[in-house]
Amino acid sequence: KNQVEQSPQSLIILEGKNCTLQCNYTVSPFSNLRWYKQDTGRGPVSLTIMTFSENTKSNGRYTATLDADTKQSSLHITASQLSDSASYICVVILNYGGSQGNLIFGKGTKLSVKP
Amino acid sequence: DAGITQSPRHKVTETGTPVTLRCHQTENHRYMYWYRQDPGHGLRLIHYSYGVKDTDKGEVSDGYSVSRSKTEDFLLTLESATSSQTSVYFCAISEESGTYEQYFGPGTRLTVT
């Protein structure tokens, strides 16, 4: 069964600290993996997109890594800010074309950054 | 929100009543999607459209119907709302090529009492 598991479910860190969110998937055939940020009351917004041949992708203070052999991805947030408080969702796309709705969503990690 | 609007943004309705949610885009993207988001679940696909009058079912389509008569509008209808359809509904659009990245609307919070 195609699944995306994220850990931890929730995380509280102090402002300025770094953190790493995990995503394990059992999705085949794999096309690409995305990380989304979802602020409370808003729709998800894409942070990074990686194909199976990419090991790392950065977007400012956000760095995503992908190990296609172990089927694991991580999202590292550097020097966290209060505005990083949000849910982070890992999404794996099946290799049938993302336009056909073949996305498998994780349940998300809820990050709270405290002053 | 990438030129996507949803209406209404909030709605409270009674069990058994019909409800229609609207998604409107200004990006001229071919693909449009309806998802629901519930606590303890990831986003789940209800229906999607790959063109005007071309739609298909997603993972949780029972109790929902959709229509797309224009490129810019995608309607989601609950024919007879039930309490299990209380949820936050998101519309998304995607391009026809490249990574097919999906852009999400702001969501509609629906409560069925």
Note the pLDDT tens digit of each residue in B52-108. 999 999 989 999 999 999 999 999 999 999 999 999 999 999 887 667 788 999 999
Q: How many CB atoms lie within 10 A of CB B57?
A: 15
What is the model's pLDDT at position A16?
Answer: 97
Which of A43, A97, A104 lies nearest to residue B104, judging by beta carbons? Answer: A43
The answer to whether the Cβ–Cβ distance between B43 and A46 falls below 8 Å is: no
What is the model's pLDDT at position A109?
Answer: 97
Across all residues in chain A, what is the average pLDDT?
91
> Is residue B90 within 8 Å of B105, Cβ to Cβ?
yes
What is the model's pLDDT at position B5?
Answer: 96
Q: Is the dihedral of CA A45, A51, A52, A57 positive or negative?
A: negative
Distance of CA B23 to the CA centre of its chain: 7
How far is residue B65's CA from residue B100's CA, in Å, rounded to a whole number?
Answer: 24
What is the model's pLDDT at position B1?
Answer: 55
Q: What are phi and psi of A84, to 5 degrees?
A: -80, -10
Lowest mean pLDDT segment, chosen from A2-11, A23-32, B26-35, B83-92? A23-32
The answer to whether the Cβ–Cβ distance between B1 and A43 falls below 8 Å is: yes
How far is residue A36's CA from residue A99's CA, in Å, rounded to a whole number?
Answer: 17
Residue of chain A nearest B46, judged by CA positions: A101
Looking at residue B49, its amino acid is: S
Q: Is the dihedral of CA A4, A63, A61, A78 positive or negative?
A: positive
What is the model's pLDDT at position B76?
Answer: 98
How far is residue A14's CA from residue A77's CA, in Å, rounded to a whole number?
Answer: 12
Q: Which of A76, A68, A12, A87 is nearest to A48 (CA)?
A: A76
Q: Tokens representing B98?
A: 């490249």
Mean pLDDT of B9-29: 96
Q: Does B107 touch chain A (CB under 8 A)?
A: yes
Which of B58, B100, B106 lies nearest to residue A97, judging by beta carbons? Answer: B100
Residue of chain B nearest A108, judged by CA positions: B42
How far is residue B57's CA from residue B66's CA, in Å, rounded to a whole number?
Answer: 9
Q: Which residues contact B41 (CB under 8 A, 6 or more apart)?
A: A107
